[in-house]
Structure 1
Amino acid sequence: MPNIKAQRPEIIQGELEVLAFSRHDDLEEAIEVLLSGKYVLILDFYSTGLLLLNELKAYLRWEEKQKFQEERSKRRNFRELSHRIILEVSHQRLRVKKAPKIGWLKILYPEQKEFALSFPDIQGLNSAWQWYEKGIQIPTLPHKIHPWYGSYFPTRFEHIILFDEYLKANQMQKENAFDLGVGSGVLSFQLQNHGFKNIQSSDQNPNAIIGMVEELKRLNISNIELLYGDLFVESAVQQDLIVFNPPWLPTKGNIENLDTAIYYHEELFPRFFEQAFDRLKPDGQLVLLFSNLLKLTHPNEKHPIEEELENGRRYIKHALLKKPVAQASKKTKRNLKRREQEIVELWSLKRST
């Protein structure tokens, strides 16, 4: 495997116009500074950054009600403005008081002694460190996973449980299997638990591969081979089972970082089906974990798996399993009606010839 460099939040550097800000300073002035394209440096407490973020959210809600011009609203969206709120890092620790200890600062920036990061990026690093340190218990696994910064991990488990039920119910050869888009390794660990001897797992996200190297060492697992790159990378191994938990929503825009686990471009599925066909044994099974979220959010968009079955002529449907998604908490900000209608899908395909 080639030497892989981790992705990390971008350091804020260069000649910047900065307002030094403490909790007793004027919040309105700080908002005006952000709106003008300048930066606000938090000086005293970590919580001061949270205070300013909340004030910024309140301002943007007010601004939206004023019906400002669309272009102006685009320039002043929350993401753009909030990333101008910055914190200083000194020797891999935040300079402000009562700040969380974030191990990623030492792991991701070993060569940097003095630098600055945006407050939202710091929040993301802090949350990721908590998940990494504490670990996450997956219902189908006997051990916790410890997702590395910037790698995908599931927060809902219906599709994971559905895949486990499928593996239990189906008799198949278990010599070789391929997990495309390994993320934090859940599907690969399921394959191993169900007796697959040789597993190849790929991901184009370097952080996922780095994290999996750690996980395999921690768990003393030697039969999972990691491949860094797009789709099947350079593997030509004939597989008894190929599993892919692809992104579920289409987009025509740019896709960055973890968004690749959520959004796909229209060429993804045709490329995948073409490459998978050449690597699937004549009696092998191709499993995709999908969702009706596509139809709920994009009713006019073609279902990529149905489209392949109708027009590709390479595969036939072997099985289609479905599982309703558990209702969201009433406290959640997600669209509750959509969540009530969501169903995860497991598609099992076989070669038609």
Structure 2
Amino acid sequence: MPTQAIISRPAPPEGEAAPHYEQQYLDLMRHIWTQGHERVDRTGVGTRSILGATMRFSLADDAVPLLTTKRVFWKVATREMLWFLSGETNIRPLVEQGVHIWTDWPLDRYRRETGEAISMEAFEQRIVEDEAFALDWGDLGPVYGRQWVNWPRYEPAPEAGEGLYRLAERGHNQIAALIEAIRANPGSRRLLFTGWNVDQVDRMALPPCHMTYQFHVADGRLNGLLFQRSCDLGLGFPFNIYGLALLTRMLALQCDLEPGEIVWQGGDVHLYLNHTDLVEEQLSRTPAGAPKLRILRRPKTIFDHRIEDFAVEDYEPQRSIAAPIAV
């Protein structure tokens, strides 16, 4: 079946109303579901997939591209972003806040390696109550946060011999360096960070899907771009696009800039074959509304934000649509 990349719509003719920002997402969903290639994937579930897609969203006037054709739990996504920025890689802080989106991977490993048919609720209870258990079974490896704020850095080790290096006690904080670079050299084409540490990918519970972020300053505005190597359009994208908007807003605040627009680029963009009910229900709905994201406080650093610093207003989505996650 032929496929082609879906890109954001051009501006409408003068006098004609612009389509709702979410329509490009629904168009892409329909395109993949009807024309995507069926492929066997890592999970064994199977997908319909295309290679290459682009969408653009404005952040002007506090706009945030939360989907309206189903509820997106933005507080969960915000807690996840703050967890990334903390550099943490263990699910325990998330579970303590009632966030379950990362539990499937360590739970699957525990069941496979121990043979114990433990429920998610019992597993999470042990993660919270037993620190030693959490250290053994709750860690995801060097995933997103580790790479973002503590990328392994090497330093000369003269005591070991000339030309030899050792792992430094503290790694490279890509986020802090990015903020410094935006402020000092806004015209740079190197305003980016990545989670794709090729040397450590095989140690991660899940290699980074939203892997590389790049930023661009123009006319006093900060624009953000995300390249996502793999995108579960049904379940993952709603969190990913909100996360890009949130992070761009947080960076703009720290750099005394206004938020501009965000650009999302997907590599392998897919829908799982067991998401029929999700896709058909969502495509039957009409997007509406214009939610706003407010940041209520500017902390000393981007790493000092708390969940209470964020508020979403005018968000009246249609009801949630449940679908299984592929691990």
TM-score over 0.5 for the pair: no
Structure whose CA Rg is larger: 1
* TM-score normalised by L of structure 2: 0.24
* TM-score normalised by L of structure 1: 0.23
**Relative contact order, higher structure (CA 8 A, sep 6+):** 2
